[in-house]
Amino acid sequence: MQVILAQPRGFCAGVTRAIAIVERALAVHGAPIYVRHEIVHNKTVVAELQRRGAIFIEKIEDVPDGATLIFSAHGIPRGEEAKARSRDLTIYDATCPLVKKVHREVVRMHQAGKSILMIGHIGHPEVEGTMGQIDGGIQVVQNVQDVHDLPDRPGEDCAYVSQTTVSVDDAIDVIAALREKFPGILEPKKSDVCYATQSRQDAVKTLAKAVDLILVIGSVTSSNTNRLREVSERQGVHAKLIDSAQNIDPAWFEGIEAVGITAGASAPETLVTGVVQYLKDHFDVESVRELGQKEERVAFPMPKGLWDSDLETA
């Protein structure tokens, strides 16, 4: 059996920054640290941070006065942020800067008098956080049929944004439908789909040409991880979404000569290493190699209060 690893895979810059914010806050302020929603959608990451003293909550009211609070990478509705900042809390915002970009677009479009359509998944925390940047005037469209079902309106009166972790191919189709239905619709200056989402989906398309089965490492709650599984299936290669090597069923590999492995943007590389070791322990693995482009060199800065100098004095 050959094992081929997609490149790039795993952590993106936004996830790396968000996890580092929690780790540094624990180092500077000590446990417990409160985090609104899971910092990223990965069970392994969340469990490790819980072990070190992070407490994940959904309601700001659950954070005691005087505590340290972190907003997750997915972003937070404006009203919830205002509620938190009105209290005696030390707050760090781990919202991905690329999600923040979409927030600014929504506010700008709203101020221009546009009704806004958001391409994304209803109920996802990033979508809820983005919609919560304004008081109404925004509607989610999940697919082309949703666009067809929209009432007609002058195109110049509406605009659209996208969730950063949607399927690149799906977004292209939905955008085309929006342009056809609403000529003149206001568009973002630059695509909202994040660089890591696109590069990892492109890597899976390349990987699918070389393997018989793809293992997608990540949690079922992770949007970008689910999209990787869908991309593989659309390329005609069956994919299995797993949290770790513990979820592997040996029966999957009957008749399989080449296995591909990728990981969602919130899955640590240790999980990839664990899956590779499982395959080596249970099957005759002839080779392990990477396929694709080198990892992106993107990094986002830490917020004030969690710089290297703050760690030195903690």
pLDDT of residue 302: 97
Residues designated as active site: 126
Domain that holds residue 35: 13-96+300-312
Residues 154 and 140 reside in one and the same domain = yes
Residue 188 belongs to a domain: no
Which of 102 and 153 is assigned the larger pLDDT? Answer: 102
Residue 116 belongs to a domain: yes
Residues 207 and 140 reside in one and the same domain = no
**Alpha helices (runs of H) in 209-268, residue ranges in sequence order:** 223-234
**Looking at 154, 181, 208, which one is the last position of a domain?**
181
Pairwise CA distance, residues 112 & 109, whole Å: 5
- Asked whether the beta carbons of 165 and 224 are under 8 A apart, the reply is yes
* Model pLDDT for residues 75-90, shown as the tens digit of each residue: 999 999 999 999 999 9
> Which DSSP symbol is given to 284?
-
Residues 205 and 276 reside in one and the same domain = yes
Residues 163 and 209 reside in one and the same domain = no
DSSP line for 158-217 = EEEEE-TTS-HHHHHHHHHHHHHHSTT-B--SS--S-HHHHHHHHHHHHHHTT-SEEEEE
Residues 20 and 63 reside in one and the same domain = yes
**Beta partners for residue 291, in sequence order:** 6
Please report, rounded to a whole number, the percentage of residues in the chain having pLDDT higher than 70.
Answer: 100
pLDDT of residue 295: 67
C-alpha 117, offset from chain centre: 20
Residues 231 and 254 reside in one and the same domain = yes
CATH code of the domain covering residue 254 = 3.40.1010.20
* Model pLDDT for residues 156-206, shown as the tens digit of each residue: 899 999 999 999 999 999 999 999 999 999 999 999 999 999 999 999 999
Phi then psi dihedrals of residue 191, to 5 deg = -50, 135
Residue 186 belongs to a domain: no
Q: How many domains does the chain have?
A: 3
Residues 157 and 211 reside in one and the same domain = no
In the block, residue with structure tokens 């540094």: 24
Residue 29 scores a pLDDT above 90:
yes
Residues 87 and 72 reside in one and the same domain = yes
Residue 234 belongs to a domain: yes
Residue 177 belongs to a domain: yes
Residues 73 and 109 reside in one and the same domain = no
Residue 65 scores a pLDDT above 70:
yes
- Asked whether the beta carbons of 162 and 127 are under 8 A apart, the reply is no
Coil/strand/helix, residue 274 = helix
Residues 92 and 103 reside in one and the same domain = no
Residues 266 and 285 reside in one and the same domain = yes
CATH code of the domain covering residue 75 = 3.40.50.11270
Confidence class for position 126, pLDDT limits 50, 70, 90: very high
- Asked whether the beta carbons of 207 and 234 are under 8 A apart, the reply is no
Q: Average pLDDT of the chain?
A: 96
Residues 149 and 225 reside in one and the same domain = no
Residue 314 scores a pLDDT above 80:
no
- Supply 292's token pair: 């694709």
